[in-house]
Chain A
Amino acid sequence: MKTFEEKWTAWLDGELSGKELAEFEASLPDKAAAEAEKNDALKLRSFLKEHLAECSMGNEEFFHHQLRQRIESDARATAAPEKEDTGRAWWPIGRLVWAGATSLAIFAVCTFFVMRETDRSNQSQYLSQILNARVDPAVSPNATISMFETKDDKVTVLWVDGLQSLPSEYAAK
C-alpha cells in the first residue's frame, strides 16, 4: 500500500499508469491545483538540471595521476606486511634451530652442575659435623667423644668411647 507521498511522487514523475493513475487523480480534491503543483515541480526539475549540470572537474589528468599513485601506494602498504610476514617465517627455520640448540646446551650445563651438587651432599648422608672432644686425660686417658649429626633427620648421636666416669659438669640437670 503506497502512501500519499509515494503516489504523488510517482504521479509527478509519470510513473503511474492505468487504474492506479485514474484512482489517484480521482482522489485529488483539487485537480487544477495539483496540476499547477506538478508544473511547478517540473519547472524546478529543469531549473536544477540546467544549473547543476555544469560541473566540470578540470585537471582530469592530475585526477588520474593522483588516483594511480594512491592505488600504487595502497598496494605497497598491503604488500609490506606480507613481506614482513615472510621475514618472520625465516626465524623459525634458521634461527629457531640455533636458539633451540643453545637452550638445550645451557640446560645440559645447568643440569650437570645441579646433579654434581646433589651427589656431593649424598656422600655424607649422616655426618655433617663431627665434634671430637677429649675429656680430662687424668680421669679417662683413652676416652674419646664423637658427635654425629644428620641435618635431614635432625638427629644428633654422641659416640663415647673409653670413658671411665661421666664428668660432674656433664650430668643432666
Chain B
Amino acid sequence: MHREATPAKADVSELDLVKQCQAGDTEAFDQLVGRYRTRVFGMIYNMVHNEQDAWDLAQDSFLKAWKSIARFRGQSSFYTWLYRIVTNVTIDWLRKKQVKGSGTEFNDEVQLREIDPASRTVPRADALPHQRMERREIRTRIDQAIQQLSPEHRAVILMKETEDMQYHEIAEALGCSIGTVMSRLFYARKKLQNLLRDLYENV
C-alpha cells in the first residue's frame, strides 16, 4: 500500500476504488483513506475533543469500513456510507464513555494544552502568539458548548455546518429520517446560539 497516488491512479473514480477494495486490494483502500482521513478525523475530533481518541476512533472506523466494504452496494455514496460507520463508532464510544464516567487522569487534551506552548522551539509564522491564544480560547468555548449536546445532536450539527452535507445524506449517515435530522438541527442550533452568542457577536 502506497499512500502517494500515481497520476493514473489519482483519476480512478471512487466507485472503481471501492470495487478494487471489494476484490481485496488494500492499495485501493489506502487511496480511499487518503481521500477522507482528514475529514473523518476532523469530524471525530469535533465530536470527542481529544486528539488521541479521535485518532483511535478514525482508525477503528476505517478498519470497520475495510471489513464491511464487501457489503457496500453503492446505493449511497461511499462518503455517506463511510460517515455512517464513523458516526456509529463515535456515538457508541461517546455513550460508553458517558456510562463509565470520564476522568481527567489520562486526559491528553489537558496535558497537550499545558505542554504545547513551551514545547514549540520554532515559532510559527502563521499567527501571532496572542492570536493563537485567542483562537485556542474560542476553540475551547466551542468545544465546551458542543460537549453539552447529545452525541446525535453533535453529529447533526457538525455534518451540516462543517461538512455541508445535505439533509438526506445526514439522515442516511445517521440512519434516521430527514424530519428527525431537521428537528435535531433546530434544537442543536438553538442551544449553541444560547451558549456561544457572546462569542460570535463580538469576535
A binding-site residues for B, Cβ under 8 Å: 2-3, 5-6, 8-10, 12-13, 15, 40-41, 43-45, 47-49, 51-53, 55-57, 60-61, 63-64, 66-68, 70-71, 74
Contacts and interface: CB of A to CB of B under 8 A. Distances in A.
Q: Is chain A's interface secondary structure helix, strand, loop, or mixed overall? A: helix
A2 B167 CA distance: 14
A9 B45 contact: no
Given A5-B186, A57-B37, A63-B59, A41 B66 contact: no
B1 interface: yes
Interface string B127-149: 00000000100110010000000
A69 B26 CA distance: 11
Contact of B33 (A5, A44, A67): A67
Q: Is chain B's interface secondary structure helix, strand, loop, or mixed overall? A: helix
Interface in B88-115: none
Contacts, number: 102
B30 interface: yes
A49 B200 CA distance: 12
Given A43-B201, A53-B162, A64-B33, A8 B63 contact: no
Contact of A47 (B38, B167, B196): B196
* Minimum-distance CB pairs A-B, first 7: A55-B42, A47-B200, A5-B186, A6-B182, A9-B182, A57-B41, A48-B161
Chain B interface category by residue count:
35 or more
Given A40-B197, A60-B37, A49 B161 contact: yes
Contacts of B38: 55-57, 60
A133 B81 CA distance: 105
Contact of A44 (B37, B182, B189): B189
